[in-house]
Structure 1
Amino acid sequence: MAGGWAMVPILICSAIALAIVLERCWTLRRKSVLPPGLGDEVRQWARAGQLDPSHLETLSNGSPLGELLAAALAVRKQPRELIKERIEDTGRHVIHRMERYLNTLGTIALIGPLLGLFGTVIGLIRMFMEVMAGGIGDPAKMAGGIGEALICTASGLTVAIPAYVLHRYFRSRVAGYCVEMEKQATALLDDLTLAPPVAATPVRPRRTPMPTAPGAG
């Protein structure tokens, strides 16, 4: 309460930022986004032909990587360009979900210092109004305004700095996941569209019949 009513939006932002950080830490776990060995397992399924619709649905609902690979397998009989286009379309949706709430976290990191500055201005205004009304004979009134201003500034920075650092951290984590998923999708695309090379059959030279001498026979 020493920071005044300007502390209310700062506390609300801090609660929202904490909720986003906890939710993203749980959602963006590596084993949840990129289950170990899933890419190799899916490629073995594709080679063995174990690709019934229920299998693909389970794969799609399991993880973001599974959703991306299932999208490619759903159109596996199409030309390479169409499969690649489906992977790219699905990838955009997957990335959008992985980046959910990160814009809100970045906004909190941006407005935190501004809210602190707003509280500082309000505290200074209150201090000067009290000085104008009663003079500078009571130092406690001036100290109260200055204290309110400093508390708001410190609180705004306390919210903004961790929010900014975690926002950048989650962005970099999503970018790293995108690179890994792209590698797995490309490997599956190659398995689906590139036929194994056929061994060349050696060509035996044709024997030319020997000419028969005239009168032989």
Structure 2
Amino acid sequence: MLSILQAAGWPIWPLVACSFIALALIFERFYSLRAERIVPPALLADLRQFDAAQMPSADVVDKLNQSSLLGEVLAEGLRAVIDEPRISDQHLREVFERAGRRGVRQLERYLTTLGSIATAAPLLGLLGTVIGMIEIFGSQAPGSGNPAQLAHGISIALYNTAFGLIVAIPALLCHRHFRALVENFEMEIEQAAERFYHQLTRHTHAAMRAARQAATPGAA
């Protein structure tokens, strides 16, 4: 491998760096973009059984916040209702939207870098090819034919082109795969948050009715 890198010349080193970065990002995204870390099935089942008449304690909300990305979004809504039981529907929806946007940013983390590597790697390989061709033509100048320089130029041209594609193809496939996962998780989080929002509004509406009845003269 070292001899191949030496034969490919200096243009191969940016591609080597891109390959290590892409590999690290791919492993990190495979670890992070798992259903149990984003939208655990157990949490979705508990959400369907949630009783808005009884708000959970602060410890339960903290555990929910640490459980998953969906838990962070739901915990934001719970904290808002616990802090202000008569919160307006619009304000509560804004709380969920802000939490959802933060969650989407976490899901999309590093995907731009991975996509950039998938785009740049073939161009870096092409750069190495052009440099190799320049050396080839330079070695064939009149009166200065140099077979060793010709072979070196061919090595630079071919190795860089091949390595650029070797880096780009897996990076592109993984980027597309992660992008599809993110879109699916976004939809699941949005649906779960919308369902939880309607459950919480039943609690806030009940709190508003109780406040109005308490403020009405002669109310029991």
TM-score range, shorter chain: 0.7 to 0.9
1:9 and 2:18 matched: no
Aligned-pair distance for 1:189?
A: 1.2
1:166 and 2:174 matched: yes
Worse-superposed segment, 45-54 or 186-195: 45-54
Aligned-pair distance for 1:29?
A: 0.7
Q: Which residue of 2 aligns with 1:74?
A: 79
Task: Give the distance between the partners of 1:148 and 1:181, measured in 2 at CA.
Answer: 48
**Number of aligned positions between the proteins:** 194
Once the two structures are superposed, residues 53-89 of structure 1 have per-residue CA deviations (whole angstroms, 9 ceiling, x without a partner) of 1211111111000011111111222122111110100
Larger Rg: 1
Aligned-pair distance for 1:117?
A: 0.8
1:145 and 2:153 matched: yes
Aligned-pair distance for 1:48?
A: 5.5
Aligned-pair distance for 1:43?
A: 5.0
Percent of pairs with identical residues: 41
Task: Give the distance between the partners of 1:68 and 1:11, measured in 2 at CA.
Answer: 39
Using the size of structure 1 for normalisation, the TM-score is 0.83
List aligned pairs for 1:1-217, cutoff 5 A. Answer: 1-42=6-47, 44-47=49-52, 49-76=54-81, 77=85, 78-132=87-141, 134-136=143-145, 138-194=146-202
> 4+ residue stretches of structure 1 with deviation over 4 A?
none
Tell me if structure 1 keeps the 8 A contact 2:135–2:149. Answer: no
Task: Give the distance between the partners of 2:156 and 2:200, measured in 1 at CA.
Answer: 65
Q: Where does the alignment leave 5 or more consecutive residues of structure 1 unmatched?
A: 196-217
Tell me if structure 1 keeps the 8 A contact 2:139–2:147. Answer: no
1 or 2, which has the higher helix percentage? 2
Tell me if structure 2 keeps the 8 A contact 1:123–1:149. Answer: yes
Aligned-pair distance for 1:150?
A: 1.1
Question: 1:53 and 1:134, CA in 2 relative to 1: closer, same or farther beyond 3 A?
Answer: farther
Question: What is the RMSD computed on CA atoms of the aligned residues?
Answer: 1.8
Once the two structures are superposed, residues 12-46 of structure 1 have per-residue CA deviations (whole angstroms, 9 ceiling, x without a partner) of 00000000000000000111111113133145344
Task: Give the distance between the partners of 1:38 and 1:46, measured in 2 at CA.
Answer: 14
Aligned-pair distance for 1:135?
A: 3.5
Tell me if structure 2 keeps the 8 A contact 1:45–1:51. Answer: no
